[in-house]
Every structure is written in structure tokens, then in C-alpha cells.
Amino acid sequence: MREVIWIEKYRPHRLEDVVGQDEVIRRLRSYVRSGNLPHLLFSGPPGVGKTASAVSVARELFGEEWHNNFIELNASDERGIDVVRHKIKDFARTAPLGEADFKIIFLDEADALTHDAQSALRRTMERYTKSCRFILSCNYSSKIIEPIQSRCAIYRFKPVSDEAVEERIRYIASQEGLTVTDDGVDAIKYVAHGDMRRAINALQAAAMMSTRIDVDTIYQITATAHPERMVELIKVSLKGDFMAARSMLDDLLMEEGLSGEDVLAQLHRAVFEVNIPEKSKLQLMEKIGEVDFRLTEGANERIQLESLLAYFAIIGEG
């Protein structure tokens, strides 16, 4: 029997089911009540409800016929100008079905579109506005050209709050007959970091191991180190015990299988948990940013991370 993907099983079907975006949902609901819609641009981090909101708007506007008047395209798969000239334009130029006044094209990850494709898209949006509305979704609105932004009502989605994540996780756990400990919920909130999709996927992955889910299960299944270990790594480094810190780093990379980027991202979060002067935190953050850039450019992760620990030790001695 095929395993049901929980992120699809518990996907919101109505605007009121989208959690953590109260202000955005309130404004979108006013469009549904009026029965009309401008072009929309949803901007925000992944897993915060952009796609769910777009689908919910179509469901509430068109009712049972929403599939006939709604198309979803992922721009990261089809990002060239041809998809705008053919696939999008062909759908936009046909009349809506049933009693709908217009159709909706949902373009996910629109910031992956090439500049030429975006330039072609802006003309299509203008030409077929009577029969078609566009909803664009992106992680970075700065990558969307200004002419498209000026044609859209822009909605910025924020990371989902820890309270909303906990409420949803406990609801799913109750529906699936799971027992999630309090520290397990805290671990899911830490791993999710405002991403509801990541939280639900972590819960399902942990549920495949046991019906009782605790902190160790979550960190093991998501390949995440305990935050306390990262704080301890920083403290040991600041004390000047470089070899002990290097041994801890070896455990994270070799035993737990974390990548250099994973370690760096958790160190970044852990710096704020260490009781050191603000000036020292500024110096550590500056160095973390420098190492992150070097890793992005393809530098050796082991050398860069050990260099970071050595810098921590020098700061601690100072």
C-alpha cells in the first residue's frame, strides 16, 4: 500500500485553514468575498503557506469547478521564454469554463524564471487580464522584475510561528495516533525554524520509526545535531581548547554525517545562546558569515570549519 504523504493529506483546502499568516489571509478573504482578484505576488520563505493560499483562493472562488479554471506551473522546471510564449499564453487566451469570470494561473517559484521569460510574462499579464489572473510565488521578490511587481498586489508571508507549528503538529499527531513528547515538539520547532512543510515531514519520518516520538528521534531522523552540542562546541572553542573542539567537530561530520553547511547554520543559531559579551558575538558572526561565503564558493569545508574554531579560540583568549 502506498504511503500517504502527510504534507498533501493535511494541506489546507480553505483560507481559514492556513495557519500563521492571519493578516495575509484576512486580505485574501476580502477578494474572495468580492468575487474578483488582481494579479498577486506571494513572497516569503519556503513552507509558510504560499501555494496552499493560492489553491485555497481558487477553491473558494470557483467551487467544484476550480480544477477547470486553475493551472499550476513550477517555474524552476520550465523557466525559459518558450513556456511563457506557449504553455502560459495558450491557457490564458482560452475563455473560462462554467460561471467563472476568469481563470487563474499559479506560477510557483517565479524567481527562477529567466529575465527574458519575465519580460515576456509581463506583456501576457497585461494582454489577457480580462480572462485570466496570475498568482506568482517566489522566495525573493527582488528577483522579480519591477514591471511585474508593479502589476501585482504584493503579499509577504512570514515564517510560521513556533506556536502555530506546535498546534498543527499536535493536531496531526492526534489524528495519526502518535504520542509526541514535549521535548519532541520543541525539537520539531527547532528543526522547522518557521517552515511548516519541514515540520510535518519530520513528524512523518519519525512516525515511521515509532509511535512515540521524542527529541532523540527527531534529531536522528532529520540529521540535526542537538542544539546543546553546538553551544558546548562554541564554549569549548572559546576556552582555547582547540583540540577538544576539533574532536567534537569530527563527531558531527564523521559520526553524525552533517555537512559543513549544516554545522555552520547551527553554529550561527547557537552563538546567540552563549553568554559572552555583545562585541564578541559580533566578531563571531562576522567570521561565520565569511566562512559561509567561502563554502558557497567551493572552499574545503574541513579547513574552513577548523579555521572558524581556531578563530573562536583566539577570540576567547582575547
Domain ranges for the chain, please list them: 6-156, 162-221, 227-317
Average pLDDT score over residue span 163-167 = 93
Highest mean pLDDT among 12-21, 83-92, 300-309: 300-309
177/187 Cα distance (integer angstroms): 19
Residue 209 is placed in which grid cell? 520509526
Question: Please, which contacts does 237-243 make with residues 24 or more away whose CB atoms are closer than 8 Å?
Answer: 237/309, 237/312, 237/313, 237/316, 238/274, 238/276, 238/312, 238/313, 238/315, 238/316, 239/313, 239/316, 240/313, 240/316, 240/317, 241/313, 242/309, 242/310, 242/313
Identity of residue 193:
H
316 vs 152: which has the higher pLDDT:
152
pLDDT of residue 10: 87
Question: Of 253, 168, 181, 258, nearest to 213 (Cα)?
Answer: 181
pLDDT in tens, 128-164: 888 889 999 999 888 999 999 999 999 999 999 999 9
Average of per-residue pLDDT across 205-227: 91
C-beta atoms surrounding 132 within 10 Å: 24
The model carries a pTM of 0.84
- According to the model, what pLDDT value does residue 1 have? 34
Q: Please choose, from the candidates 151, 107, 147, the residue with its C-alpha nearest in 3D space to the C-alpha of residue 129.
A: 151
According to the model, what pLDDT value does residue 318 have? 62
Instruction: Name the average pLDDT for the chain.
Output: 88
Q: What is the mean pLDDT of residues 159-173?
A: 93
**Which of these, 227, 218, 215, 210, lies nearest to 181 by C-alpha position?**
215
pLDDT at 78 over 90: no
What pLDDT does residue 81 have? 65
What are the E-state strand segments in 159-269? 179-180, 212-213
Structural domain 6-156, CATH architecture: 3-Layer(aba) Sandwich (3.40)
Q: Tens of pLDDT along 80-129?
A: 566 667 777 777 778 778 778 889 989 888 888 888 888 888 888 888 88
Report pLDDT for 36.
86
pLDDT of res. 2 = 42
CATH 1.10.8.60 fits 162-221, yes or no: yes
Which pLDDT tens digit goes with each residue over 226-285?
999 999 999 999 999 999 999 999 999 988 888 999 999 999 999 999 998 898 899 999
Contacts for 279 with CB less than 8 Å, ≥ 6 apart: none
Torsion of CA 237, 238, 239, 243, to 10 degrees: 20
Task: Identify whether the C-beta of residue 28 lies closer than 8 Å to the C-beta of residue 121.
Answer: no
> Whole-angstrom Cα distance, residue 22 to residue 15?
10
Q: Kindly report the number of other CB atoms within 10 A of residue 7's CB atom.
A: 17
Owner of C-alpha cell 550561527: 268
Give the pLDDT mean for 1-27. 83
Q: Mean per-residue pLDDT for 166-191?
A: 94
Give the pLDDT score at 79.
60
The predicted structure's pLDDT at residue 315: 86
Assigned architecture for domain 227-317: Up-down Bundle (1.20)
Structure-block grid coordinates of residue 213: 516520538
Q: What is the mean predicted confidence (pLDDT) over 39-57?
A: 92
Q: What is the pLDDT of residue 53?
A: 93
From the list 78, 60, 82, the residue with the least C-alpha distance to 69 is: 60
